[in-house]
A = this chain, B = another copy of it.
Amino acid sequence: MSGVKQVYLFTEGNAEMKKLLGGKGANLAEMTRLGLPVPPGFTVTTEACVDYYRKGETLWPELEEEVAKALQALEKQTGKTLGGGENPLLLSVRSGAYFSMPGMMDTILNLGLNDKTVEALAKTTGNRPFALDCYRRFLQMYADVVLKIDHYHFERALDEVKKMFKVQPGDQLSEEGWEKVIARFKQIIEDNRQKFPQEPVEQLLNSIKAVFESWNNQRAIVYRRLNNIPDDLGTAVNVQSMVFGNQGEDSATGVAFTRNPSTGEKVLYGELLFNAQGEDIVAGIRTPLPMSALKERMPSIYDQFDNICTKLENHYRDMQDIEFTIEKNRLFILQTRNGKRTAAAAVKIAVDLVEEGICSKEEVLLRVEPSQLVQLLHQRIDTTLALKPLATGLPASPGAALGKVVFDANDAELKSAEGEKVIMVRSDTTPDDIHGIVAAQGVLTSRGGMTSHAAVVARGMGKPCISGCEAIKIDPKAHLFQVGEQVVKEGDIISIDGTTGNVYLGEVPMISPELSPEFQKLLSWADEVRKLQVRANADNPRDARKAREFGAEGIGLCRTEHMFMEQDRLPIVQEMILAETKEERNKCLLRLLPIQQGDFEQLLREMEGYPVTIRLLDPPLHEFLPNLEELLIEVALLKERGDNPSLLKEKEYLLKKVRALNEFNPMLGHRGCRLGLVFPEIYRMQVRAICQAVVALMKEGLDVKPEIMIPLVGHPRELEIMREIVEDEAAKVKKEAQVEFNCPVGTMIELPRACVTAGQIAKHADFFSFGTNDLTQTTFGFSRDDAEGKFLPFYVQEKILPDNPFMVLDREGVGSLITQAVTAGREQKKELKMGICGEHGGEPQSIEFCHQAGLNYVSCSPFRVAIARLAAAQAAINANGDAGQK
């Protein structure tokens, strides 16, 4: 890499250089290019960071020289000198990766201060306490980030000095106090056998090194894993001249969004603090003011800012998240980026941007993250009920959740792993709490604003969050919080509504979501471009109705076994399984027939005009019988007690039956069409029930479209025989009823053997439906029930696999088999209809694969239909555009 430029002045870069300069660096350069008031600075490239790791974590002379040159230019631009003169140059040093990783890496402010420059700063600002405060802040940050000294030491020292000078925790010290603090801080550094360099260039180089290293701190690694960001990109380092929002009441610092990130409403939305530094806002220690405070107190600066916002939004064609500082009535823009937003806001902003003529439909369709939509599709608290909240905080991330109270991220993780739903309650959160937010249903904090750490992270994850709920008093040691007299202990259940900010004691009723008009509009645009049909997996009329509401174009998978499990049928099903003769079995089946027919009538009626794919019985029969282990113990105890020989006999008989049906590997056992082949009478009953339902509905004049699907076919002969049986039974019903109707017969493709012999299987099939759950199991040789509880989390964590293949379809393995099957199937039968009905059918990356593989439809759970519609549209747009777009 030597010889390649690795340091760029802001005036040398632009927004296109995001990969090299990181998102923040490229935007600072772009804003500079646009003539916005950006404090001058330069960026050390991401490539330099990668080199840093390649070279064994050490800086090298060429880079140091480039930094020195950039510094000279910066001194020229600002008219200030680093480490010297009357007007010392102070710098901020910040990370900035290609993908935004907010708060994950380190920052150092006020760099350039030392025992000499602090006095020069005091002189130019005319505010020695301010200068001393800056110096002690720098000492503390440098010690923390570069020297890795625990910040606890510094906080204790500060508290002690404040006590000594009888100053309240929130208030400022005198010059004498700050001098004392600075002396104490230097002592702490010495006590830790570290050195604070007085030479600012040394400070700078060490800080650059430290930022490089923060790329690989624990938080950053976890964040990248959660967000699928590659580990080898590296971070850029932005070195920028400092401006101060804490130079008095004519100074301020703030964060603003060009539109409301919670609702998407087109209104300047943000927070600021007067006489404060940026970190004060993010830390959530002081509760900030709304933007209206700026309009009131500095109307012309507000207008200037508003203009810049419009300019930036038009330039970036998206809602912006802007950091700004006002230094003595002068506005500086420190950062802009596409703003994070809730799903609701994402949808509204997308639709508005199109209607405002700023963006094209395709552009905004690509911009909404389908998986984020989940939060729009989740429950909210029923506001028609007059519920009395326990307390109210800021509505920081919408949606509702309930769970047991925990006060610690580790507890949240632990309890959640045990299957508990938890709400994490904290005074505020830090990046160290991320795993707790991941594990919890929602977050409640007593401090911090809408842009506090908890709020930002929760919104990103689509989890409900209430921040700044000052009414609650947390006592983490006692494991409880109080609201007035009301005590809420760890383990008590609370409900939170992140849309209103209300906290409720106990469980409150929640209701299901509907689609907003904007959402409907966005989806209708998606429908215009997508090629994949979207169906739903539904086994009952309730789910079918929900699926239709979300826009499903049919049912791709109706699992008939769920009907067998219902309480009124199970005894008959059990009797059928235990039958000794075919006659006995047939008697039970005759009793099941009208019940099944009723099931199908309801379902087909609900889906009138749309295809309904009904899968015949799939699971092994012993799933319908009592549990083997329980029976074993029961029989052992009955024997031991010897007091009920007739019950013992009965249970022993049952045990014998259950044991005979029990399997070593039920997943690979006697199930699917293997049942249908050995017990054709069961499948015949189901086919008859379907056909009789069709006849009954046709007589009512309804247009119903049943499709019969045979599960677990691995050999063409299996399907050939099953098809004969289905057609024979259907023909009988048609003849009896003197009615004609069409009922295609297809098969699940869910075994590797089915994929490699798909050409032969296609001869007997009207359609294929890829069952990617089972196909993933057999292709990998993973039992999902076992793998997800045992080695699969380890596999994903250690990156042996990029994702859990049961969540994201494995393209290399499972996908390759699907592609073989699609090709061979279509070669045999050009118009063969193909779809997918595994859980992958509702997962965006997998849907993209389905589009690329040329399937006709995806089928997913009703609640994911909207996600699938959008993801299918994105797949279609991406397939049309150039490959680099995604």
Residues of A within 8 A of B (CB): 628-629, 632-633, 636-637, 640-641, 663-670, 674, 677-678, 712, 714-715, 717-718, 721, 750-753, 756-757, 760, 774, 777-783, 785-787, 790-791, 794-795, 798-801, 810, 812-814, 816-817
Asked if A664 contacts B667 (CB within 8 A), the reply is yes
A/B interface sample: 20 pairs, CB < 8 A:
A629-B629, A632-B633, A664-B785, A664-B786, A665-B786, A667-B668, A668-B777, A669-B790, A677-B794, A677-B798, A714-B779, A714-B780, A715-B813, A718-B800, A751-B780, A752-B779, A753-B814, A757-B812, A760-B812, A774-B781
Closest CB pairs A-B (n = 5)? A665-B783, A668-B783, A752-B752, A753-B813, A669-B786
Asked if B753 contacts A678 (CB within 8 A), the reply is no
Asked if A794 contacts B752 (CB within 8 A), the reply is no
Closest residue of B by beta carbon distance from A675: B791
Neighbouring B residues of A780 by C-beta, 8 Å:
714-715, 751, 753
Distance in angstroms between the alpha carbons of A182 and B669 in the assembled complex: 60
Distance in angstroms between the alpha carbons of A800 and B722 in the assembled complex: 11
Neighbouring B residues of A633 by C-beta, 8 Å:
632-633, 636
Identify the interface centre among A669, A791, A814: most chain B CB within 10 Å of its CB.
A669
Asked if B629 contacts A800 (CB within 8 A), the reply is no
Distance (Å) between the CB of A731 and the closest chain B CB?
Answer: 22
Contact of A714 among B640, B760, B813 (CB under 8 A): B813
Distance (Å) between the CB of A413 and the closest chain B CB?
Answer: 20
Asked if B677 contacts A801 (CB within 8 A), the reply is no
Contact of A781 among B640, B664, B751, B787 (CB under 8 A): B751
Distance (Å) between the CB of A721 and the closest chain B CB?
Answer: 7
Given the contacts A637-B636, A674-B791, A817 and B668 also touching, CB distance less than 8 Å: no
Distance (Å) between the CB of A267 and the closest chain B CB?
Answer: 49
Distance in angstroms between the alpha carbons of A427 and B633 in the assembled complex: 50
Given the contacts A640-B640, A714-B781, A800-B677, A787 and B669 also touching, CB distance less than 8 Å: yes
Distance in angstroms between the alpha carbons of A760 and B11 in the assembled complex: 46
Neighbouring B residues of A812 by C-beta, 8 Å:
756-757, 760
Asked if A778 contacts B800 (CB within 8 A), the reply is no
Asked if B816 contacts A756 (CB within 8 A), the reply is yes
Distance in angstroms between the alpha carbons of A636 and B717 in the assembled complex: 47
6 new A-B contacts, CB < 8 A, other than A629-B632, A668-B787, are A665-B785, A665-B786, A712-B781, A714-B782, A752-B778, A757-B816
Distance in angstroms between the alpha carbons of A813 and B756 in the assembled complex: 6
Distance in angstroms between the alpha carbons of A715 and B813 in the assembled complex: 9
Distance in angstroms between the alpha carbons of A778 and B674 in the assembled complex: 16
Closest residue of B by beta carbon distance from A774: B781
Given the contacts A677-B794, A678-B791, A717 and B663 also touching, CB distance less than 8 Å: no
Distance (Å) between the CB of A699 and the closest chain B CB?
Answer: 38
Neighbouring B residues of A751 by C-beta, 8 Å:
779-781
Distance in angstroms between the alpha carbons of A609 and B780 in the assembled complex: 36
Neighbouring B residues of A641 by C-beta, 8 Å:
640
Neighbouring B residues of A667 by C-beta, 8 Å:
664-665, 668, 781, 783
Closest residue of B by beta carbon distance from A751: B781
Closest residue of B by beta carbon distance from A781: B751
Asked if B664 contacts A666 (CB within 8 A), the reply is yes
Given the contacts A629-B629, A717-B801, A791-B678, A752 and B813 also touching, CB distance less than 8 Å: yes
Distance in angstroms between the alpha carbons of A230 and B79 in the assembled complex: 98
Distance (Å) between the CB of A775 and the closest chain B CB?
Answer: 9
Distance (Å) between the CB of A615 and the closest chain B CB?
Answer: 16
Distance in angstroms between the alpha carbons of A192 and B718 in the assembled complex: 43
Identify the interface centre among A632, A753, A799: most chain B CB within 10 Å of its CB.
A753
Contact of A637 among B637, B714, B813 (CB under 8 A): B637
Contact of A665 among B632, B665, B791 (CB under 8 A): B665
Distance in angstroms between the alpha carbons of A629 and B668 in the assembled complex: 21
Neighbouring B residues of A790 by C-beta, 8 Å:
663, 669-670
Neighbouring B residues of A668 by C-beta, 8 Å:
665, 667-668, 777-778, 781-783, 786-787
Identify the interface centre among A760, A779, A781, A785: most chain B CB within 10 Å of its CB.
A781
Closest residue of B by beta carbon distance from A620: B786
Distance (Å) between the CB of A676 and the closest chain B CB?
Answer: 11
Neighbouring B residues of A714 by C-beta, 8 Å:
779-782, 813
Given the contacts A664-B783, A665-B667, A786-B663, A717 and B752 also touching, CB distance less than 8 Å: no
Distance in angstroms between the alpha carbons of A790 and B678 in the assembled complex: 10
Closest residue of B by beta carbon distance from A629: B632
Identify the interface centre among A668, A750, A760: most chain B CB within 10 Å of its CB.
A668
Distance (Å) between the CB of A754 and the closest chain B CB?
Answer: 9
Identify the interface centre among A628, A667, A798: most chain B CB within 10 Å of its CB.
A667
Distance in angstroms between the alpha carbons of A251 and B312 in the assembled complex: 118
Closest residue of B by beta carbon distance from A635: B633
Identify the interface centre among A664, A678, A712, A816: most chain B CB within 10 Å of its CB.
A664
Distance in angstroms between the alpha carbons of A787 and B670 in the assembled complex: 7
Distance (Å) between the CB of A367 and the closest chain B CB?
Answer: 33
Neighbouring B residues of A712 by C-beta, 8 Å:
781
Closest residue of B by beta carbon distance from A630: B632
Distance in angstroms between the alpha carbons of A637 and B638 in the assembled complex: 10
Asked if B636 contacts A783 (CB within 8 A), the reply is no
Distance (Å) between the CB of A46 and the closest chain B CB?
Answer: 26
Asked if B637 contacts A670 (CB within 8 A), the reply is no
Closest residue of B by beta carbon distance from A667: B665
Closest residue of B by beta carbon distance from A628: B629
Distance (Å) between the CB of A860 and the closest chain B CB?
Answer: 23
Distance (Å) between the CB of A116 and the closest chain B CB?
Answer: 53
Contact of A670 among B636, B665, B791, B800 (CB under 8 A): B791
Distance in angstroms between the alpha carbons of A678 and B786 in the assembled complex: 15
Distance in angstroms between the alpha carbons of A774 and B787 in the assembled complex: 17
Distance (Å) between the CB of A825 and the closest chain B CB?
Answer: 15
Distance (Å) between the CB of A368 and the closest chain B CB?
Answer: 32
Distance in angstroms between the alpha carbons of A780 and B629 in the assembled complex: 29
Neighbouring B residues of A760 by C-beta, 8 Å:
812
Closest residue of B by beta carbon distance from A712: B781
Asked if B778 contacts A779 (CB within 8 A), the reply is yes
Asked if A783 contacts B753 (CB within 8 A), the reply is no
Neighbouring B residues of A787 by C-beta, 8 Å:
668-670
Closest residue of B by beta carbon distance from A800: B717
Neighbouring B residues of A664 by C-beta, 8 Å:
666-667, 783, 785-786
Distance in angstroms between the alpha carbons of A718 and B792 in the assembled complex: 12
Closest residue of B by beta carbon distance from A636: B633
Asked if A781 contacts B778 (CB within 8 A), the reply is yes
Closest residue of B by beta carbon distance from A760: B812
Given the contacts A715-B800, A756-B813, A778-B778, A786 and B670 also touching, CB distance less than 8 Å: yes
Distance in angstroms between the alpha carbons of A641 and B718 in the assembled complex: 52
Distance in angstroms between the alpha carbons of A667 and B73 in the assembled complex: 67
Identify the interface centre among A665, A801, A817: most chain B CB within 10 Å of its CB.
A665
Distance in angstroms between the alpha carbons of A255 and B857 in the assembled complex: 70
Neighbouring B residues of A798 by C-beta, 8 Å:
677
Asked if B669 contacts A783 (CB within 8 A), the reply is yes
Neighbouring B residues of A779 by C-beta, 8 Å:
714, 751-753, 756, 778
